[in-house]
A and B are shown apart, each in its own frame.
Chain A
Amino acid sequence: MSNALNKKRNFIERSILSALAFLKDATLSEEYANRKGFLQSLDPRLKTVSFLAFLVTAISLKSAVLIGSLYGFCFILAIFSRIPVRHFLIRTLLFIPLFSLFMVLPTLFSIVTPGEPVCSFHVLGLNGIITRPGLDGAVLFVVRIATSVSLVVLLSLTTRHSELLKVLRVLGVPQLFVLTVSMCFRYLYLFATMVENIFTAIKSRVGVVSHHRHGQNVVAWNLANTWNRTTQMSEEVYMAMLSRGYTGEPRLLKVFHATLKDWVWLCCAVIICAGLFYRGQIL
């Protein structure tokens, strides 16, 4: 019994730690952004605009086949950007279930999407019927989510996080907001690191966590402490900003130089999207 409890706790602890590691990796790893590949060589602004266009296309198209072709295109881009397909797949697959499962389930059933039944079943005295339009809708939805997530992952993998933030700024998002987001990233990172350290500290102090209650208290106390430290830190960061002349509206550097290649790429992106929309109209 207690053994099982321990196992469970270890499992939870490991899951939390790996989730944290993933978070840090996802938000801060710039390994792929620093590789010399196709997408990495593009101007971040035009790259982001083109990906937004792809995203809008993926969301608006009503044909799973057409969206699927966009998904294939993502893979080609990933290969030319020197991102290992396996890594890329894992990244996208991690997010897809989260998005799709919750949203797709209700539409499967006849209550939401009436139509010709494909199969029916009884569970706990409830009648469930999976309908043809419901199934088609579900497939379309999954392909759409997979493609959208892939696009976002591809963009974030091939662009430095600082550059993405700059792009937000260039696209007209207020500078104060961008600075706040960038600080959130930092706190997130710091927070993740602290929680990791706390886990290690507890382990070294308590050894094998024998007293469930005790371990919990340590965690709770440390989290409160971490929170205090974080809020105090944000006050100090504000001081550091004041010290260098901040008076309410941050002014930051203008960056980026688009070349002919970037414009050609943007044209290609627009043509691809328009083509897909056109096909979508005919089908």
Chain B
Amino acid sequence: MSDIIFELQDVHYSYPGKFPALCGVDMTIRSGEKIAVIGANGTGKSTLLQLLDGLIFPHHGQVRAFGELLRENSQVDENAAHRFRRRVGLVFQNADIQLFCPSVREDIAFGPLQLGVAEEEVRRRILEVAQVLDIRHLLERVPHQLSIGEKRRVAIASVLAIDPDVYLFDEPTAGLDPLTVRHIIDFIVNANQRGKTIITATHDLHIIGEIADMVYVFGQNKRIIMGEPPDSVLNDRSFLEINNLVHIHRHHHDGREHVHQHLP
């Protein structure tokens, strides 16, 4: 099947020192899908996204991307690596880590330049991307001196400039004000409408109705314990409570409008 983008079979991953982070994950993601991965802290969401982005590799089981096995040495071939990087972009959980250049402009330019995009085109993309994310006034600033919301938008811009087919977002709305959250959700929905595949890790339950058609819930056992459309997940209150997502559930209750949106 050509429209399968990621295929995970019985994936296990442990950090050095034998800290298990994923224990037997199976998953199939198709082109154009909107996926949310939810779970309490430490259930392996970030680890999963890094596996999908080919930054770490399973110790057991396998990850296939675009029909090819992701292996440590498949990244050695520069052309193959670049082909993969042009198609998949990860927005890291910690924007401070993602932004390492001396200025915002250069951070946005970094990806496309590494991937061999011509300088003129890169300049055009910088302006376009800055327009989309409303960060034109920040281009000459030092990234780590920005506010959290600004950093997050710059981090997204730095991936958008690569124009990948697949976006991986790691907790894109954590710690942001409502307006910025709104912008980011709109961005995600918009990208999906343009045909992009979106995979978002979050524990923000009141956004999953908009950013996902399919929700995978990760449990403390570090594997998928439920895979359903957002409405079914949100309706299963006892399940959410058991799995430590209850706090967010209450938040969800407090915002009355959101309750109407998600719960019939």
Question: Residues of A with Cβ closer than 8 Å to B?
Answer: 28, 30, 160-162, 165-166, 179, 182-183, 185-186, 189-190, 233, 236-237, 239-247, 250-254
- Interchain CB contact under 8 A, B122 and A253: yes
- Interchain CB contact under 8 A, A28 and B142: yes
- Interchain CB contact under 8 A, A182 and B145: no
- Interchain CB contact under 8 A, A240 and B97: yes
- Interchain CB contact under 8 A, A233 and B102: no
> In the complex where A162-B103, A236-B94, A253-B106 touch, is A245 in contact with B81 (Cβ < 8 A)?
yes
Query: Please, which residues of chain A bring their CB within 8 A of the CB of B66?
Result: none
Other contacts beyond A247-B78, A250-B114: 12, CB < 8 A = A28-B142, A162-B106, A182-B101, A185-B102, A239-B97, A242-B55, A243-B92, A244-B110, A245-B114, A246-B114, A247-B82, A253-B122
Query: Please, which residues of chain A bring their CB within 8 A of the CB of B81?
Result: 245, 247
Interface of B is mostly: helix
Question: Residues of B with Cβ closer than 8 Å to A?
Answer: 50, 53, 55, 75, 78, 81-82, 85-86, 89-90, 92, 94, 96-98, 100-103, 105-106, 109-111, 113-115, 119, 122-123, 140, 142, 144-145, 158-159, 162
User: What are 25 A-to-B residue pairs whose CB atoms are below 8 Å?
Assistant: A28-B145, A162-B102, A162-B106, A165-B102, A179-B100, A182-B100, A186-B144, A190-B96, A190-B144, A239-B97, A240-B97, A240-B100, A241-B100, A241-B110, A242-B55, A243-B85, A244-B158, A244-B162, A246-B110, A250-B114, A252-B110, A253-B105, A253-B106, A253-B113, A253-B123
Query: Please, which residues of chain B bring their CB within 8 A of the CB of A190?
Result: 96, 144
Cα distance A186–B107 in the bound complex, in angstroms: 14
> In the complex where A182-B101, A243-B90 touch, is A254 in contact with B114 (Cβ < 8 A)?
no
- Interchain CB contact under 8 A, A189 and B144: yes
- Interchain CB contact under 8 A, A245 and B115: yes
B154 to chain A, nearest CB (A): 13
